[in-house]
A and B are shown apart, each in its own frame.
Chain A
Amino acid sequence: MARVLISTFGFDESKVLRALRWLPYDRLVLLAGGKSLREPGLRKLQAAERAGGCTVEVVRVDPFDFTSCFYGALGAIERTRKAGHDVRVNVSGGTKVLADAALLASFQAGVEAWHCEDRPLRLPVLKGVTFPDYLRPVHKAVLASVEKPLPATRIVERLSADGYRESSVQSAITWLRGEDLVTVEIQGGIAIVSRDPRTAWFARALL
């Protein structure tokens, strides 16, 4: 099992180099984007890794767009884990948005997160504990069924056919609404359930 270090990266390679010194790794994945891809810092890091017989994978993100950074980080974590590797995330480089999105992705996926400045600091992410653990199967089933807005009655019908009790589905809709993961709007006397447009990207990542 290879140890993969996923690190946020901006312009300053020293922030990543500190993490490389403290956190043992076999492969390096950088989350970076924008101008930082053309800066000497990235070339220096790639050269240093090449000299050590390693390669650097760069996952491109828009470093000022939270959603892009979050999906970039979560995608890199999940791909690496699927390949059976051990993952750590370092959030000390890059923009504020990139660092925060990578931290949130680490929480969501339950992987070690570190901040390496003057000393390596492990952040209190519980390894192996993921956000989807907080959702019951019926919550996930409701979220999955509202990829497009649907009347609540249709959701109940669909999920009842899958073996869920009507009352469980209804209380799941209420719970998800309370968590801002779905919205319920009355249109022509019918309750329409949809993924909250502001949070649809996050809800998708929970499934």
Chain B
Amino acid sequence: MPSIKSTEGLERVVFYHSAHDKSRAARTRVMQFCSTLDVPATPVELSDAFNLLEIAARIRQDVVKVRQEGLGPIRFNIAGGTRLMSSAALLVCVLEGIPTTYVHDETYKEIQLPLIRMNYADRLSERQKEILAYLVAHRERPPSETALARALGVHKSTMNHHVKQLLEKGVVEVAPDPSDTRAHLIRAAPGAELLVG
């Protein structure tokens, strides 16, 4: 609520909460508070408030939608909710370059975490993003490096160079191919969806 009060020109509030009874009770209070300020509010109940990546994916999807609709600018208060909800929100804020606020538990003082308004994934080259997007889309059936090169129309040695760089950055993993002991499969690391989704 301190962030709702302190945000100038606030047009809309979207807030995330767990399915816990206490959280639902707090939802009612936030809705009432927003109603007194005449600010429309949308509560989003998270079915699993302890699945970090799932929460981050949901928040990111909403952020992308708001941006596509031309609404904004966005400001995020990450202080509430479970630990994982808070970490998931911070992840999205870093990846999407969203100004982020923290509210002190006891003093209710707001702290700004001025994340640079960058697209974090821009530190990957276009080709690296393309490779990662392909691996995310084929997460269930990860390709070998050769198959990956063929699928994206890239020479094998070029693909090897990109895969090495993605490995160094920690966004892909290499796993042995269960059907061929000499071969390896390339897989997107967990959470890579958040970089290229």
* A67-B111, A96-B86, A103-B90 known; A126-B117 Cβ under 8 A: no
A115 with B114: CB separation less than 8 A: no
- Interface residue? A179 (CB, 8 A): yes
* A66-B111, A122-B191, A180-B99 known; A115-B87 Cβ under 8 A: yes
* Set of chain A residues within 8 Å of B195, measured between Cβ atoms: 124, 126
Most buried by A among B170, B192, B195: B170
* Set of chain A residues within 8 Å of B90, measured between Cβ atoms: 100, 103-104
- Interface residue? B104 (CB, 8 A): yes
Given the complex of chains A and B, what is the CA–CA distance between A124 and B60 in angstroms?
A: 14
A126 with B120: CB separation less than 8 A: yes
B114 is contacted by which of A97, A128, A129, A196 (Cβ under 8 Å)? A196
Contact with A along B128-145 (1 / 0, CB 8 A): 000000000000000000
* A100-B86, A126-B123, A129-B123 known; A181-B114 Cβ under 8 A: yes
A-B contact number at CB 8 A: 96
- Residues of B47-96 at the interface with A, using a CB-CB cut-off of 8 Å, are 50, 52-53, 78-79, 83-84, 86-87, 90-91, 94-95
* Set of chain B residues within 8 Å of A66, measured between Cβ atoms: 102, 104, 111, 113
Given the complex of chains A and B, what is the CA–CA distance between A124 and B189 in angstroms?
A: 8
Given the complex of chains A and B, what is the CA–CA distance between A128 and B116 in angstroms?
A: 17
* Set of chain A residues within 8 Å of B194, measured between Cβ atoms: 124
- Interface residue? A99 (CB, 8 A): yes
* Contact residues on A (Cβ < 8 Å of other chain), bracket: 35 or more
A97 with B105: CB separation less than 8 A: yes
- Interface residue? A14 (CB, 8 A): no
- Residues of A52-66 at the interface with B, using a CB-CB cut-off of 8 Å, are 64-66
- Interface residue? B118 (CB, 8 A): yes
* Contact residues on B (Cβ < 8 Å of other chain), bracket: 35 or more
B114 with A121: CB separation less than 8 A: no
CB nearest neighbor in A for B193: A124
* Set of chain B residues within 8 Å of A112, measured between Cβ atoms: 170
Given the complex of chains A and B, what is the CA–CA distance between A100 and B82 in angstroms?
A: 12
- Residues of A35-77 at the interface with B, using a CB-CB cut-off of 8 Å, are 64-67
Contact with B along A124-150 (1 / 0, CB 8 A): 111111010111000000000000000
* Set of chain A residues within 8 Å of B50, measured between Cβ atoms: 117
- Interface residue? A91 (CB, 8 A): yes
- Interface residue? B106 (CB, 8 A): yes
* Set of chain B residues within 8 Å of A99, measured between Cβ atoms: 83, 86-87
CB nearest neighbor in A for B107: A64
Using A122-B191, A179-B116, A202-B113 as known contacts, list a sample of 9 further A-B pairs with CB atoms less than 8 Å apart, ordered by residue number in A.
A103-B90, A104-B94, A121-B191, A122-B170, A124-B91, A179-B117, A181-B114, A198-B112, A203-B114
Interface, chain A (partner B; CB < 8 A) = 64-67, 91, 96-97, 99-100, 103-104, 107, 112, 115, 117, 121-129, 131, 133-135, 178-181, 196, 198-199, 202-203
Which 6 residue pairs across A and B have the least CB separation, nearest first? A124-B191, A199-B114, A127-B170, A180-B114, A198-B112, A129-B123
